[in-house]
Structure 1
Amino acid sequence: MSETIPQQWQEVSSLDDLWEGEMTAVEVKGKSVLLVNHDGEVLAYKNRCPHQEWALDDGDLDGNKLTCAQHLWEFDVCTAKGINPSTHSLSAYPCQVAEDGTISVDVS
C-alpha cells in the first residue's frame, strides 16, 4: 500500500509581478525555480539547463520557446520538452495560482 505525499505549497510570488510572456527566478526551500507566465498560465521549472546546469532565467523567452543563454539549447515551456536537442527536457514543479493571484510552487 503506497502513501500519498501531500503537496507542500510555498507561496513565491504574485501574478501582478509576473506578466504574460515573462519569466523570473525565485528561491523555494533553497532551490532556484524558474516561473514562466505563458498566455496567463504560470509554469514552474528547475532553473537550470539540463546541459550544464546554467541558470535558465538568463536566457530568452520568445512565445513558448525558452533558449538557454549559454549554449542556446531550446525548450518548449508549455510541454517542458526539448526542441534542440529533443533528447532533453526541463524538470517541472507543480505550480498553482490562487484566486487572489498568489503563485505557489511545490519543490518536494
Structure 2
Amino acid sequence: MRLDELWEGEMAGVEVGGEKVLLMNIDGDVRAYRNRCPHQAWALDEGDFDGETLTCSRHMWVFDARSGSGVNPDNCRLASFPCRVDEDGTIRVDLG
C-alpha cells in the first residue's frame, strides 16, 4: 500500500506475506499492528479509529494508536510490526 492511499486519521486492513496487518496513519506517522484484537482475535479494521485511539467493535476494548497499549483495559497490548515509508511512498512492513 502507498502512503497516499492511507490518509492521516485513517486505517486499513491489508495482507502481508499471509499475515493480516492493520495500518494506521497517525498525523503522518504510520503504525502497523496484527489485525486481531488480543481479547478474542476480532478484526480490528472493523472497529473505530478517531485518529488517536482504536476501539474494537466486538467488545469495545480501546487501544492507544501510537503505542498499541491498552487504554481500557490497560493490561493488554496490540502486537506490532516495524514499518517504514520508502521514498516512493510505499509502506513496508517487517514481519520478522
- Does TM, scored on the shorter chain, surpass 0.5? yes
1:50 aligns to what?
38
Higher relative contact order (CA 8 A, sep 6+): 1
Q: Distance in 2 between matches of 1:80 and 1:25?
A: 16
TM-score normalised to structure 1 length: 0.87
Deviation at 1:98, TM superposition (A): 1.0
Q: State the Cα deviation string for residues 53-106 of structure 1 (Å, max 9, x = none).
A: 000000000121000000000000111100000000100000000121110001
For structure 2, the residue ranges without an aligned partner over 5 or more in a row are none
SS of the residue corresponding to residue 58 of structure 2 reads: coil
Q: Which runs of 4+ in 1 moved over 3 A?
A: none
2:23 is equivalent to residue 35 of structure 1: yes
1:79 aligns to what?
67
Give me the identity figure in percent.
58
2:54 is equivalent to residue 66 of structure 1: yes
TM-score normalised to structure 2 length: 0.98
CA RMSD of aligned residues (A): 0.6
SS of the residue corresponding to residue 45 of structure 2 reads: helix
For structure 1, the residue ranges without an aligned partner over 5 or more in a row are 1-12
The number of residue pairs the alignment matches comes to: 96
